């Protein structure tokens, strides 16, 4: 007995860019400890575990160290695999039951749109060691249920960041989103995402962070459709659209994906 596992580069149309995620489609329940062990073995930002249900798929996400409540790039990777393996027809909606409720994905002309909850940040006072860790003078500091959001003054400042990960691990948050206006006319805003407490010093492209970035920049630009670029070493772009106006409560995240590996887990690894 073996279990197929896929590795997908998400939020990119080129292999070895974007954010890699593993996708494992299970035929039956597996223990949490097993899923966490597989995620640690894959050692990617996220491993997604799917299991067919009557009305869609149960979906869970694991980093190498913890299970998380919301993940965009691994959801995009999971939807991509469902269509690529013909488990879903090209025009069929992918429905996922998750710890963040029902999420869905649609597929058109090679682009995948994820229907996710908006996660706006409310302005807050930054913990002293957050600013110390980033070594920047922020224009804005906010917080949502997952992360801190920090706006900096320029792309040069964003690119030059070398955060103190030891200090960032002290935050009582999943991670820190750092963002700025883009100097590139192809993108409205840039971002980077740091989550050392989840075993990810810097995430290449973070879909769930754009659930926060979308409402933040929509209000500042006064528009509901924007494109962001996550300026990590691998890099990747995410299109965002706020549903029902600038202050709407749903965000559509758009991106592409490329399968780069198909492998088999042996029964020994599953025992």
Catalytic residue numbers read 46
- Nearest of 56, 57, 53, 50 to residue 24 by alpha carbon: 50
Residues 6+ apart with CB under 8 A from 233: 202, 204
Rounded distance, CA 93 to CA 176, Å? 32
Q: CA dist 56 to 66, 85, 96, 249, Å?
A: 24, 15, 6, 23
Rounded distance, CA 78 to CA 65, Å? 20
Q: CA dist 48 to 223, 240, 254, Å?
A: 32, 22, 18
**If you write DSSP's letter for every residue of 74-104 in order, what string do you get?**
HHHHHHHHHHHTTSS-TTSPEEEEETTEEEE
The answer to whether 72 touches 19, Cβ cutoff 8 Å, is no
């Amino acid at each position: 007995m073996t279990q197929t596992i896929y590795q997908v580069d998400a939020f990119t149309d080129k292999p070895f860019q974007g954010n890699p995620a593993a996708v494992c489609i299970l035929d039956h329940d597996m223990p949490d400890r097993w899923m966490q062990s597989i995620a640690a073995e894959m050692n990617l930002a996220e491993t997604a575990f799917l299991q067919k249900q009557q009305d869609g798929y149960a979906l869970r996400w694991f980093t190498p160290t913890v299970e998380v409540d919301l993940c965009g790039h691994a959801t995009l990777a999971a939807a991509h695999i469902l269509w690529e393996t013909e488990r879903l027809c090209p025009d069929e909606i992918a429905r996922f039951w998750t710890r963040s409720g029902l999420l869905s994905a649609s597929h058109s002309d090679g682009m995948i749109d994820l229907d996710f909850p908006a996660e706006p940040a409310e302005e807050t006072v930054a913990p002293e060691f957050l600013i110390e860790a980033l070594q920047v003078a922020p224009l804005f500091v906010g917080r949502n249920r997952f992360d801190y959001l920090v706006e900096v003054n320029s792309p040069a400042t964003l690119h030059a960041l070398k955060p103190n990960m030891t200090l960032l691990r002290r935050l009582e948050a999943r991670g820190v989103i750092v963002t700025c206006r883009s100097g590139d006319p192809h993108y409205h805003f840039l971002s980077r995402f740091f989550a050392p407490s989840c075993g990810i010093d810097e995430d290449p492209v973070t879909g769930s962070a754009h659930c926060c970035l979308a409402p933040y920049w929509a209000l500042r630009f006064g528009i509901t459709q924007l494109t962001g670029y996550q300026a990590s070493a691998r890099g990747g772009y995410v299109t965002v659209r706020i549903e029902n106006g600038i202050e709407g409560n749903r965000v559509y995240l758009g991106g592409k994906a490329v399968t780069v590996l198909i492998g088999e887990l042996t029964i020994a690894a599953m025992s």
